[in-house]
Each structure stands twice: as C-alpha cells, then as structure tokens.
Amino acid sequence: MAYYGLLEDEIAEMYAFLKLALRAASADLPFRGPEKFQAKDRIFKLRLTGDISYFTDLEEIRISGRLVFFQDIMEMPVI
C-alpha cells in the first residue's frame, strides 16, 4: 500500500471523523469507506478505481467546505 496526501490543522477532529467514515463502509465497498459520508459540516468523499485485486483511490475530507485532508492510495495484495 502506498499513500500520498495533505493534512491541515484540525488533526484530532479530522481523525475522529475519518474513523466514523471508515466504519460506515458497506458490504459491497469494504475497502475504505462509503463513496460519501457526511456529518454536520464534515464531508468524506472516496473515488475508487479497480477492485479487491488492485485499486487506487482518492479520499478527501472537508470541514465547512475547506479541504483539510486528502490522500491518494494505491493497494494490491501481497502474495
């Protein structure tokens, strides 16, 4: 797995919200989280390409419309 991203100031707030979003993953998309998750002024978005054998995704979190976190992820199983 490889990560690249940005993290702004609201670290504790952002990680608490990220945990909520990741726990909301569905059975048909169990990799990271739902395509969109919102709670009050916080929005998590996931853009996923591929399947369980190899995928890339872009995750972002916005608080009050301001981008506070994003990461690109590339993952494939280790055999």
Q: What is the pLDDT of residues 27-43, one digit of tens each?
A: 877 767 899 999 999 99
**What range defines the domain where residue 32 resides?**
2-75
- What percent of the chain has pLDDT above 90? 30
Say what the pLDDT of residue 65 is: 92
CA distance 7 to 29: 25
CA distance 68 to 73: 17
Total number of domains constituting the chain: 1
| Angle in degrees, CA 32, 29, 27, rounded to 5 | 110
Please give the helix or strand (H or E) that residue 58 lies within, else none: strand 54-63
| Sequence-ordered alpha helix ranges (H) in 2-64 | 11-23
CA distance 9 to 13: 9
Which stretch, 27-31, 61-65, 75-79, has highest mean pLDDT? 61-65
Query: Radius of gyration over alpha carbons of the chain, in Å?
Result: 13
